[in-house]
Structure 1
Amino acid sequence: MVTVCGDPCRSGRRRAANARARSARSGRGCAITSGSVALDEQTERLGARIRSFRQARGLTLVELARLAQLSHPFLSQLERGQARPSMVSLERIARALGSSQIELIAAATDDLVPGEGDSRVSLVRSMEGPQGPFGGGEARILVHGEVSFIPMEFRGSNRSPGEFYRHDEDEFLHVVSGRVLVDLADDGEFELMPGDSIHYAGGTLHRWCSLAEGDYHLFIVKERRFGS
């Protein structure tokens, strides 16, 4: 979803151009519908990360557009930082890439975290970490930067498992609270109680839901096989 920047009056074109120039100098960016200037730094990083994920999966833009059911021109603009996706579009892209909205958003914002850089240590306090949609609930990523695994705290209350997910990376689940049904398609269904854990290899179809009323709480670790 793109916010248009400009003046509806023809006499305002110069003012709009000057505003874009001032915005670029200040580092804030400006939302546009076309051109060579990124909407903002975060959008530019998000586009670059989507391109990185796509190339790592060996997909062309046309192939990703088909899998995500989005237009090729839109994805091309998105990867160049010239368009901002809606949450629905980002979910489609994430599914097509075997990732998630929160992983793409976190990857796009990690470099904006003060003091991270090339540090060997990543500290995430209790109220910190990127948060957003993941599966049928909300997840919080518990690490910053390029690491070999992605630990997440997950909370959900969905009683329906929804659609299956599949990605190339291994994944590990540990139930902190609640009763959870983990459905691995042909590999079986598993009822997990607090303290139970399950691991499944990359490429396994998977989904999960609550077996009781109320929320459930998971600790998830997902393998990361490629970086930026």
Structure 2
Amino acid sequence: MTDIRAFEVGELGLRLKEIRQRAGLSLRELARQAGVSPSLVSQIENGKSQPSVGTLYTFARLLGVTVDELFEAEEQAHERALELEEPQDEWHGSGRMNPMNAWHPSEYANRVSVVHPSHRPQITMAEGVVWERLAATPEHAINFMKVTYAPGATSSAGGEMVTHDGYEYAMVLKGELLVTVGQEVFHLHEGESFGFDSSIPHVHRNPGPGVFEGVWFVHGSSHQPPA
């Protein structure tokens, strides 16, 4: 069977390169505005390196795109990989529909989204941070995701604090997370939840020996991704 994830390597970089070129920015100019080296931008676009959450946030802000638009590249990779698998019926022989088109009648196709765990589009970043899209609807100002942090992982390179429009809400499913918002530090454990104004400087870090998993709901500007 085809390894779907293998087809997603470099998809994010290719998508960023396409958006950068469409915006009329040179690689060096994007690097200058983002405060990173041109070689890092090149490595990310060529799929040889992964951005941190903070760097991806900066790229998205400078290029004026949403998280949904970045996830679309991962969805397209899934679709291409599935096309190479052995032909199956619409429900893939398992009682589950193709997850991004999982509602009938068709009049509801753009209003309801059902996604099976094995088919969630993902964006993998530096330090073992993974975003998984939990639902896909036309509302780009809202992001509904499962977020995973490897032990020691932070939401930005070097632990720098970031800001963006909107509000973040999250619940800890597994492990622990240090959430720094302004001058306050919150040590959250399984079952606890939080919410804050994302315009306040903030950073997240997994201080534990195990993997952190949480569900995120971010509501804000249509051109600001979560960090």
Which TM-score bucket, shorter chain as reference? 0.5 to 0.7
Distance in structure 2 (CA, Å) of the matches to 1:89 and 1:215: 19
Q: Which residue of the partner structure matches residue 56 of structure 2?
A: 94
Q: Distance in 2 between matches of 1:51 and 1:184?
A: 35
Q: Residue 127 of structure 1 aligns to a residue in which SS? A: helix
- CA contact 1:90–1:101 (8 Å) conserved in 2: no
Task: Give the count of matched residue pairs.
Answer: 174
Conservation of the 8 A alpha-carbon contact between 2:111 and 2:137: no
Q: Which has the higher contact order (CA 8 A, sep 6+)?
A: 2
2:122 is matched with which residue? Answer: 131
Given the alignment of the two structures, is residue 106 of structure 1 paired with residue 68 of structure 2, yes or no?
no
RMSD: 4.2
Q: For residues 57 and 32 of structure 2, what CA distance do their matches in structure 1 show?
A: 12
The runs of at least 4 consecutive aligned structure 1 residues that moved more than 6 Å come to: 41-44, 60-63, 99-102
* Distance in 1 between residues matched to 2:114 and 2:208, nearest whole Å: 34
Q: Deviations over 1:41-76 (max 9, x none)?
A: 998765555578x79xxxx778744222355xx89x
Gaps of 5+ in 1: 1-40, 76-82
Question: How far apart, CA to CA, are the structure 2 residues paired with 1:86 and 1:44?
Answer: 8
What is residue 182 of structure 1 aligned with on the other side? 179
Residues 174, 197 of structure 1: 8 Å contact kept: yes
Alpha-carbon distance change, 42 to 125 in structure 1, aligned in 2, over 3 angstroms: same
How many percent of aligned residue pairs carry the same amino acid? 19
The corresponding residue for 2:142 is: 149
TM-score (norm 1): 0.56
Instruction: Please state how far the C-alpha of 1:166 moved relative to its aligned partner.
Output: 2.5
Structure 1: distance between partners of 2:152 and 2:15:
35
CA distance in 2, matches of 1:215, 1:204: 26
How many Å separate the matches in 2 of 1:139 and 1:183? Answer: 20
CA distance in structure 2 between the aligned counterparts of 1:125 and 1:152, rounded to whole angstroms: 13
Q: Any unmatched runs of 5+ in structure 2?
A: 1-10, 80-97
How far 1:174 moved relative to its partner? 0.9
Larger radius of gyration: 1
Contact 2:177–2:206 (8 Å) recurs in 1: yes
